[in-house]
Amino acid sequence: MEELHHWIDGARTPGSSGRFADVMNPATGEVQACVPLASADEVRAAVERAAAAQPAWAATNPQRRARVMMKFGALINAHMDRLAECVSREHGKTLPDARGDVQRGLEVVEVCMGAPHLLKGEYMDNGGPGIDLYAMRQPLGVVAGITPFNFPAMIPLWKMAPALVSGNAMILKPSERTPSTAILLAELLKEAGLPDGVLQVVNGDKEAVDALLDDETVQAVGFVGSTPIAQYIYGRAAATGKRAQCFGGAKNHMIVMPDADLDKAADALVGAGYGAAGERCMAISVAVPVGEETADRLVEKLVPRIEKLKVGPYTAGEDVDYGPVITAAAKERIESLIQSGVDQGADLVVDGRGFELQGYEQGFFVGPSLFDRATPEMDIYREEIFGPVLTQVRAGSYEEALSLVMKNQYGNGTAIYTADGDTARDFASRVNVGMVGINFPIPVPLSYFTFGGWKKSAFGDLNQYGPDAFRFYTRTKTVTARWFSGIKDGGEFNFKAMD
């Protein structure tokens, strides 16, 4: 069995704690590797080395740091297939989906190539009598990134690229379920010219996370995962005076108005609801058709599309629609929630339980499921299922549909399908959700904007990537300067003027 490593001071480094976690192949249910779980002492040593490397990196001018990002981006492009295969092997997502994972991370790296512009400060001459003022953006020092299993390339890149190009050193703690991609990215960064020690990749579990949160050297932490863990990390980071941006769960609704193109809406729901086996924080998990006729017609269009979905391992080819979920426990939880929907009275139109694939009977596959006539009181509506389950909640009016979204505890993403511009504008203006799609099912902003939810989907004041990332990973120092003239009219130096 392959034994994976940490990345310390620019090299793969075995763990010393004696603790390991299994890395599974979700398609077969077999253990394919083991990953070391760092002790608090190992984390502390990685932080100390990062702190030693950071000042020289911060003193490197922003243009040279940006050139590392340029080379890094070129290397990611050159190794796209290798990175995608690594993502698929440990996560189980299809190769096209895995390439998308890498590509969306690469786009943030590309924005970071323009970091000198984003890191500029402000200047005002003669702000007062003989007084000049200027503000500088300076790196925080050592920062941490704690990233989830479902995007092993994209979210580490969202964290690493802006943090590093801003002059910080970073401790990256990837998910122990999908750890290998982070190491590959670290190797490419070294090849691109990043000095040793500036990026440390430390694998681990709660012990490693708590060690990062409690370490006084670590100045900021970025996290993506479930809401309970996001709240925990945000609270513990705040207690130790750290900056924190913590992104949690989601329950993303898509309203379908009676005037919508239902074929386009159905295609969007299938792609956004079942892609990546529903293991996306931006997946559409709730469809809200307005009116009984709209709901009936939408179900009629959804069912044949859902039944045509091809579920299988990434090795089966490019025409596989989605693969397994991440663990046996995840599969069990998803199927348990499906049963709860049946028990609580929703109509199970398509049942994905009990799905088996010949030759992969032990894999963690869940077939696509579709519920109709669910209500907000049901578990399938209240909980983030994080699986290939789409739930339809019928609304009698636009206002009722909007109210569903507004009252939900999560506020990550939402969408509306309509042909009416006034309805779309009203929805975008009023809805209390961080990212909104209009005739667009997964409204992940492009990398030069910024990504972030509202309500219990996000904790912290600043979002991921875009301008907010540079605000998060730097702090402002403002200088007020006054220079006294030391020259008399006659040309003699006036020492008293300097008193």
Instruction: Show which residues are catalytic.
Output: 281
Other beta carbons within 10 Å of 389:
27
272, 284 Cβ separation under 8 angstroms: yes
Q: Would you give the DSSP letter of residue 215?
A: -
Q: In what order do the strands lie in the sheet with 20-25?
A: 2-3, 30-36, 20-25
User: What is the pairing mode between strands 243-247 and 252-256?
Assistant: unpaired
Closest CA to 122 of 474, 493, 383: 474
The conformational region for residue 248 under phi > 0 = left, psi -120 to 50 = alpha, else beta, is: beta
| DSSP characters over 267-286 | HHHHHHHHGGGG--TT-EEE
Residue 199 CA, distance from chain mean position: 19
CA dihedral 130, 136, 141, 143 (to 10 degrees): 140
Instruction: Indicate the Cα dihedral angle 99, 105, 110, 113, nearest 10°.
Output: -140
Residues 5-25, buried b or exposed e (16+ Cβ, 10 A)? bbbbbbeebebebeebbebbb
Rounded to the nearest angstrom, the gap between the alpha carbon of residue 257 and the centroid of all alpha carbons in its chain is 30
Contact 415, 427 (CB under 8 A): no
**C-alpha–C-alpha distance, residues 57 and 401, integer Å:** 51
Dist. CA 452–CA 464, nearest whole Å: 6
Tokens of 266: 């159905």
Q: Helix/strand/coil (H, E, C) string of 150-183?
A: CCCCHHHHHHHHHHHHCCCEEEEECCCCCCHHHH
Exposed, middle or buried: residue 155 (CB in 10 Å: 0-12, 13-18, 19+)?
buried
Burial class (CB in 10 A: 0-12, 13-18, 19+), 342: middle
How far, CA to CA in Å, does 234 sit from each of 174, 220, 250?
17, 10, 17
Residues facing 3 on adjacent strands:
34
DSSP single-letter state for residue 446: P
Structure-block tokens of residue 183: 């190491």
Give the list of residues 6+ apart from residue 210 with CB closer than 8 angstroms, or none: 40, 236
